[in-house]
Structure 1
Amino acid sequence: MQRRLEHEPTMTDHQQLVEALTSPIRIVGEERVTVSPPELADLPIRSREFEIVCDSGDRHTDRWQGVPVLDLLERASVPAETTHLLVESTDGYRVCIDVEAALEGLVAVARNGEPLTAVADYESRFVSAGTRGPRTAKDVWRIEPRSLSPGEDPDVYERFDAND
């Protein structure tokens, strides 16, 4: 029996990975677009390995499956001068990520082939290479491109929960 490559989920795998999604994702670019769970299911699912480094120093390397951030942004005509992405969770937690790092990322719906709802207490998570654990927003509901001036601190756009 031949195994499929992990970066090419089968149709059944694809359906299982997105069927747990209940919340749309809003992309606020030159246009405001809401991508519903059924629309997310129509987008390609990719698989990428990322190491998540927690503030405690613990490191976890997993294979994440999800929708590439670039595929989501293409739906809302992102301005060319975008330098950062503001990624917001349903609970108001926000992170401002350098666009180059963010474009390599995913809005993940699964980890190691299992839907996030089966292995965690959230249904989606922003993950990308080099992004520390506390900056990987869970239950993503909004992505907004930002154009920061040179020297402008991206932290002023962030909002963290004191319990995180």
Structure 2
Amino acid sequence: MGITSKILGERGRRQAKEAGVDASRVPPGQYLTSKFPVLTYGRVPKTDLSSWTLAVDGEVESPFAVTWDELLAMEQRTQTVDIHCVTRWSKLDTTWTGVPITAFMERAGVRPSATHVLAHSDGGYTTNMPLEVLLDDDVMLAHTYEGQPLEPDHGYPLRLLVPKRYFWKSAKFLRRLEILTADRQGFWELNGYHNDGDPFKEERHWF
């Protein structure tokens, strides 16, 4: 652990203690914030919900795409989770509503040969993860944050929410899930970020 990580980690644990929060919820090198910092690669896209779709394809038995209304007609869930950004901030007890990823993927019928997923966003952003990470029970297709539709800066109309990974894996402006038979790195992974991005292992970068 570097000097910066150590200092910020101590700050995060102190903040947790002062807030009466279990310090084990704060990953190494993170500090707590009550704000929701905005970090986006590229421009925020303009979205027309009347023509918007979300697709799943690749190593699935039944590739399909849903419209916005069809997505909202699927099973919905609200959950409260902690989120952690690679830029060292953590925000605890954030509440999201959306479609559980398992409900979405069950319709597609993932093939036994599938091992990974590459998430594609408007604007060309991509990020990857093992299929077992995608199918965790707290991963969702999130459209609502703290009772309100996602703001454009935070991924409107839909983002992938992967709480157990650094937040760059929770792709904003999500449009497609490509199911793969082998790993394929996404934008930040090809530019030095760690392939797995587990905040509790402090997997920030490859180097």
Name the TM-score class by shorter chain. Answer: 0.7 to 0.9
Counterpart Cα distance in 2 of 1:86 and 1:121: 17
Which residue, out of 100, 107, 115, partners 2:149?
A: 115
* Structure 1 residue aligned with 2:187: 159
User: Which one-letter code corresponds to 1:75 in the other structure?
Assistant: R
* Structure 1 residue aligned with 2:24: none
Which residue, out of 15, 29, 37, partners 2:68?
A: 37
* Structure 2 residue aligned with 1:90: 122
Q: How many residues align?
A: 137
Asked if 1 retains the 8 angstrom alpha-carbon contact of 2:155 and 2:173, the reply is no
1:13-32 equivalences under 5 Å are 22=49, 23-28=52-57, 29-32=60-63
Q: Check if 1:99 corresponds to 2:131.
A: yes
Sort the Cα spacing of 1:72 and 1:158 in 2 relative to 1 into closer, same or farther, 3 A.
same
Asked if 1 retains the 8 angstrom alpha-carbon contact of 2:162 and 2:169, the reply is no
* Structure 2 residue aligned with 1:56: 87
In the TM superposition, structure 1's runs of 4+ consecutive aligned residues that sit over 3 Å from their partners are 117-121
CA drift of 1:88 comes to 1.1
Counterpart Cα distance in 2 of 1:89 and 1:98: 18
Q: Give the gaps of 5 or more residues in structure 1.
A: 1-19, 149-153
Counterpart Cα distance in 2 of 1:57 and 1:38: 36
For residues 1-53 of structure 1, what are the alpha-carbon distances to aligned partners after superposition, in whole Å with 9 as ceiling and x for unaligned? xxxxxxxxxxxxxxxxxxx9822100102332111111111101111222221
Superposition CA RMSD, Å: 2.3
User: Which one-letter code corresponds to 1:130 in the other structure?
Assistant: K
User: Which one-letter code corresponds to 2:133 in the other structure?
Assistant: A
* Amino-acid identity (%): 24
CA drift of 1:121 comes to 5.4
RCO higher in structure (CA 8 A, sep ≥6): 1
The alignment's TM-score, normalised by the length of structure 1, stands at: 0.73
The alignment's TM-score, normalised by the length of structure 2, stands at: 0.59
Larger radius of gyration, structure 1 or 2? Answer: 2
* Structure 1 residue aligned with 2:21: none
Secondary structure of the residue aligned to 1:39 is: helix
Q: Give the gaps of 5 or more residues in structure 2.
A: 1-46, 192-207
User: Which one-letter code corresponds to 1:116 in the other structure?
Assistant: L
* Structure 2 residue aligned with 1:139: 173
Secondary structure of the residue aligned to 2:129 is: strand
